[in-house]
């Protein structure tokens, strides 16, 4: 369960329906070209929180079919509706996903006891492993070291997707829990997590830049930090331009230019600005995507 996991993109048509063939092409792109170690399915990058329960299940099914056991699969099942999270967790578990993951419940200001109950319920009902998804910038939930400790007491909580810039907390977690999996969630800060001893990373840009992410992680593990920094600089030049153009829209446009039917983003996301297509073509050429 270690290494680079793409936060899988999902292609939609103009009506918001999943483009099955395009999704299969994106899966193959990640496995065959980017050589990722695994796929993180139905996370933020998959526009999960705008999909119906049936669409989420459809994505889980297609990924499982296309993967055929080649790489590890993590199913993000988190939802503000606990019944949906449990149902999705059972569905992904039956499909053979290697672990579940769940974003902390958001919008309402849930207490930590309520958050703990949420995770324990999903685990107890599915009998699967769990990777906590900590992304305080989007959920408003920042957990302390003691709170992580309370969650980690459950042996089925095998790790955390740490999408947080608090590298002091990351260092403390790494030291205290050497046997728990820690995944970095910020692509642009991968090297700092790698220096801190993370087990892997989960990111949206890995759909098109996974090979460089693997190089950064491997070089840091081999104590070649200066070389890793060179690749992180290149990576961040790319990420900076992608963010300027629109994250998910641009990632899908890059895939389209390389011959993959990556569809469009779900509304209310704006459509890609085709006046910028020449800039995206230049990115593909300049960064050898």
How many Cβ atoms from other residues are within 10 Å of residue 155's Cβ?
8
**Pairing relationship of beta strands 3-7 and 72-76 according to DSSP bridges:** unpaired
Encoded tokens for 276: 């910028």
161 among known catalytic residues: yes
Known binder of ligand: residue 44? yes
Known binder of ligand: residue 204? yes
Q: Which of 91, 119, 133, 248 is catalytic?
A: 133
In the chain, DSSP assigns E strands to 3-7, 38-41, 72-76, 99-103, 130-134, 157-162, 181-184, 200-203
Known binder of ligand: residue 45? yes
Known binder of ligand: residue 163? yes
Known binder of ligand: residue 78? no
In whole angstroms, give the CA distance from residue 65 to residue 283.
32
DSSP element (H, E) containing 126: helix 112-126
281 among known catalytic residues: no
Known binder of ligand: residue 202? yes
Q: Nearest-CA neighbor of 47 among 21, 92, 12?
A: 12
Q: Which of 161, 180, 252, 256 is catalytic?
A: 161
In whole angstroms, give the CA distance from residue 52 to residue 281.
33
Known binder of ligand: residue 185? yes
In whole angstroms, give the CA distance from residue 226 to residue 228.
5
Binding residues for pyruvate are: 202
Binding residues for aceneuramate are: 44-45, 163, 185, 187-188, 204
> Which residues carry out catalysis?
133, 161
């Amino acid at each position: 369960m270690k290494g680079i996991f793409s936060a899988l993109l999902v292609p939609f048509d103009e009506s918001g329906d999943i483009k099955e063939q395009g999704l299969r092409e994106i899966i193959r792109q990640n496995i065959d070209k980017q050589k990722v170690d695994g796929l993180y399915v139905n996370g933020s990058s998959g526009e999960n929180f705008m999909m119906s329960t049936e669409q989420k299940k459809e994505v889980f099914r297609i990924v499982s079919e296309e993967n055929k056991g080649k790489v590890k699969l993590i199913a993000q099942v988190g939802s503000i509706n606990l019944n949906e999270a449990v149902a999705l967790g059972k569905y992904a578990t039956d499909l053979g996903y290697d672990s579940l993951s769940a974003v902390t419940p958001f919008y309402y200001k849930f207490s930590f006891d309520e958050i703990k109950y949420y995770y324990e319920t999903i685990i107890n009902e599915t009998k699967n492993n769990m990777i906590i998804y900590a992304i305080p910038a989007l959920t408003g939930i920042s957990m302390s070291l003691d709170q992580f400790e309370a969650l980690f007491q459950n042996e089925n909580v095998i790790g955390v997707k740490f999408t947080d810039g608090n590298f002091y907390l990351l260092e403390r977690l790494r030291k205290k829990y050497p046997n728990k999996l820690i995944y970095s969630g910020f692509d642009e800060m991968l090297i700092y997590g790698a220096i801190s001893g993370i087990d892997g990373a989960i990111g949206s840009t890995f759909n098109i830049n996974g090979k460089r992410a693997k190089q950064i992680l491997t070089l840091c593990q081999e104590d070649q930090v200066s070389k890793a920094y060179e690749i992180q600089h290149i990576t961040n030049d790319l990420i900076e331009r992608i963010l300027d153009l629109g994250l998910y829209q641009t990632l899908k446009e890059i895939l389209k230019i390389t011959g993959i039917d990556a569809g469009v983003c779900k509304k209310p996301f704006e459509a890609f600005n085709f006046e910028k297509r020449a800039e995206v073509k230049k990115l593909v050429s300049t960064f050898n995507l």
